[in-house]
Structure formats: structure tokens, C-alpha cells
A = this chain, B = another copy of it.
């Protein structure tokens, strides 16, 4: 039984962990979404030898693991969502950390000058940052994913080898988020990255992922999360 701790109102970084747990069919509780869950989360953040700097974090027995990519490193080994070879494990983790960079940059588009300020207080700056993100960064990230799919010796269906890894699930989520926040730029980029588009569609159709996406466990995208739809910065 896993305990996932993350902000209860958004997909955010927690969603990359949720998707792995769902695909694995793992038994988990999304603690902060329960009654008094936020208090529990904030209490756990203050305790133990391994406190996380920020959610998400995962408790499993005595273990408490934070940072999305580190959590996935742990879950990947346990649920056959990563290769067992050292080279394959590292490559999957390298892809995940690159995904994390893209997620970070997506967040910057609405909070370029102050993480603690409201979006409304940094609209002109957000417009500038989002313009570069749409025109330069979305195509650059998706091109890189297309390249590594193309070069995968195991075929173009998955990012690593011949079976699904947590990186595939995360790429699905990144594309979903980009498509929500910047639909025009993302669809333009996806036309040039058909293998990325196909992977996204294939992940969405996996039985456990499809069931999850249709359930109430999947929080809808919204303007408190990482991927936000603000028409004025979609260009």
C-alpha cells in the first residue's frame, strides 16, 4: 500500500506519479484528497529523516521518497515500468529528468518573475516567456522525443526498448498538458512529431490508463496547475 502526498486540487507533478501507480494497478491512497488530508500532508512534510522540499512524495512502509523523477525510479523497479539493465534504467531516468525540465519551463510561462506572485500580477512578462516557449521550446522538446523514439533500437512504439516505461506515461502527460495550455502550438509541433503523437494516443488507450482518465481520480486540468490555458498567452 502506497501513500501519495500531493496538492489535492491539481494534477501538477503528482500526476506523473499517479499515472505510474494506475498503470501498475498498485494499491495507493491519494492522502491529501481525503478528509483532513492537507493537514496530514503538511504534518508528514515536517517529520522524519527524509523530509521533501515540496510535494509530491510517496510513503511506502518506512520509506518516504520525494522528487517526481526519484519516485518514478523507485516505482519503475518495483512495477516493471523500467528496464532492469543499468544502461536502460539510467536512460529511462535521463529521459524523465529531461521531461522534468520541460515541465519546469511550462510552469515558468505563467510565473516568470515571481513564483509567489499571482499570474495576474505578471501578465506582460508571462506573454513574453510564453511566446518563446510556444515558438522555440515546445518544438525543441517534442523534436527531441521524436528523435529518441526514432533511434530506439527496440522500435518506435516506446521510448525505451520494447515495453512501456514510466517515461512513456510521463511523455503522455506532458503532451496532454501542453495541448491543454497551448493547443495551437502543440498541435503544430505534433504534426512534425508523429511518433510522439502516436505514443500519446497509445498510452491513452491502455486499459488501466483509459479507466483512470475516465474516473473521478483524474483531476481535470485547471488554472491552478502547471499547465494553464490562458488564451492571451497562447498566441
Contacts and interface: CB of A to CB of B under 8 A. Distances in A.
Contact size range, A: 35 or more
Given A51-B151, A67-B98, A104-B104, A113 B90 contact: no
Interface string A79-107: 00000001100110110011011001100
Contact of A98 (B53, B86, B113): B53
A125 B113 CA distance: 6
Contact of A93 (B70, B112, B148): B70
Given A114-B132, A115-B132, A137-B115, A91 B50 contact: yes
A213 interface: no
A179 B1 CA distance: 43
Q: How many copies does the complex hold?
A: 2
| Chain A interface, DSSP helix/strand/loop, else mixed | helix
Nearest to A104: B104
Interface in A44-74: 48-53, 63, 65-67, 69-70, 73-74
Nearest to A93: B70
B97 A70 contact: yes
Interface string A138-149: 000100100110
Interface of A: 48-53, 63, 65-67, 69-70, 73-74, 86-87, 90-91, 93-94, 97-98, 100-101, 104-105, 108, 112-117, 122, 125, 128-129, 132, 136-137, 141, 144, 147-148, 151-153
Given A49-B148, A112-B125, A116-B136, 7 more contacts: A50-B94, A53-B141, A63-B90, A69-B69, A74-B86, A97-B97, A115-B132
